[in-house]
Amino acid sequence: MNNIENLTSMVVFARVVETLSFTEAAKSLRLSKSSVSREIAQLEVRLGTQLLNRTTRKIQVTEVGMSYYQYCHRILTEAQHAEHFIRHFHEAPMGSLRLIAPVSFGSQCIVPALNSFIAGNIHISVDLELTDRTLNMEEDQCDIAIIIGRETPQYPLVMPLIDITWGLYATPDYISQFAPIEKPEDLPRYDYLLFRGPAHTISLPFRKERNKLDIEVRSRFRINNSVALMSSALAGAGIAYLPDYVTHEAVAEGKLVRLLPEWSMDLYQAWILFKSESTLSSRVQQFASSLQRKLRQNLESGKEA
């Protein structure tokens, strides 16, 4: 008796017993009815015993057939488990993930999300490049790029992450030295910490309901990194214009206060750019969804704080 030859017949027999129908068993196995009947007949010949009693109306399983079915059922179940394992193996995120993100946003927001993602996906390795240079998705070696801007990127494979709001922040000690700031028009007399640019003055936008104002302020200290700007603000060097995500912890701890919080200021968006459709593997898609969910949770918790 060829045990390997019996395996297919045993699976067919198990389905016949479970359906009590050659026709239904054939459909579930995607075989012809004649193929199923032939497999059962050949199996009975090889075993030297009758497993089924067949009439024109019904199928009855013999006593030895029912005992034999228990073994066949276990084989069928194990085969299904093996198939499930292979399917899960291919679907589970694994391999390397290459990302590019802006320096400050990457440090403050992407890295914490990556820490959680890596902890939950042990088969993934991550290569993160933090840079503020202009990206070229065709040439850059990455699966995902994170960018920040006011408008939707002109790129075919884009996914929104979060809105990034901005505000004015200073230490309580710095603010206490001066008259209270009650409206945007009170701002020009203070020292400001701003992003580095060619001009020493900048026009700050304010919006509240139907009111829109642009207030020009002067900066004696300009830096091209928001974390460094916050560090200067914490040192009492002036009022810093910062993205809110940078300041959540300092505000929660009482080290910084938001000025004129009832007024909205600049609004940017963070976006994910995907390299190409051919690189949208399960690890890339799962990370993108995980990142979006994590950032939005953190944004809400930051607002509550």
Please name the residue that has the structure tokens 């199996």.
Answer: 43
Candidates 84, 144, 90, 126; CA nearest to 282 is: 90
| Neighbouring residues of 169: CB distance < 8 A, sequence distance ≥ 6 | 230, 233, 239, 240, 242, 247, 250, 251, 256, 257, 258, 259
From CA 157, how far away is CA 126, in angstroms rounded? Answer: 21
From CA 20, how far away is CA 107, in angstroms rounded? Answer: 63
- pLDDT at 205 (0 to 100): 93
Burial 219-236 (b: 16+ CB within 10 A, else e): beebbebbeebbeebbee
Q: Do 15 and 29 form a contact (C-beta atoms < 8 A)?
A: yes
- Overall pTM > 0.85: no
From CA 91, how far away is CA 155, in angstroms rounded? Answer: 27
Q: Is the dihedral of CA 273, 277, 279, 285 positive or negative?
A: positive
In terms of Cβ atoms closer than 10 Å to its own Cβ (0-12, 13-18, 19+), residue 211 is exposed
- pLDDT at 135 (0 to 100): 87
Q: Do 302 and 244 form a contact (C-beta atoms < 8 A)?
A: yes
- pLDDT at 215 (0 to 100): 93
From CA 258, how far away is CA 247, in angstroms rounded? Answer: 9
Any idea of the CA torsion for 32, 33, 34, 40, to the nearest 10 degrees?
110
Q: Is the dihedral of CA 282, 145, 269, 168 positive or negative?
A: positive
- pLDDT at 90 (0 to 100): 55
- pLDDT at 167 (0 to 100): 95
Q: Which two tokens stand for residue 8?
A: 């297919």
Q: What is the pLDDT along the chain (305 residues), one digit of tens a residue?
A: 456 667 889 989 999 999 999 999 999 888 999 999 999 999 999 999 999 998 877 899 999 999 999 999 888 888 877 776 666 555 555 678 889 999 999 999 999 988 988 888 777 888 999 998 888 888 888 889 999 998 888 888 899 999 999 999 999 999 999 888 999 999 988 889 998 755 556 889 999 988 999 999 988 889 988 999 999 999 999 999 999 999 999 999 999 999 999 999 999 999 999 887 766 777 788 888 888 888 888 777 665 55
Q: Is the dihedral of CA 97, 100, 103, 108 positive or negative?
A: negative
| Neighbouring residues of 265: CB distance < 8 A, sequence distance ≥ 6 | 165, 166, 167, 168, 204, 205, 206, 207, 241
From CA 268, how far away is CA 271, in angstroms rounded? Answer: 10
From CA 292, how far away is CA 159, in angstroms rounded? Answer: 9
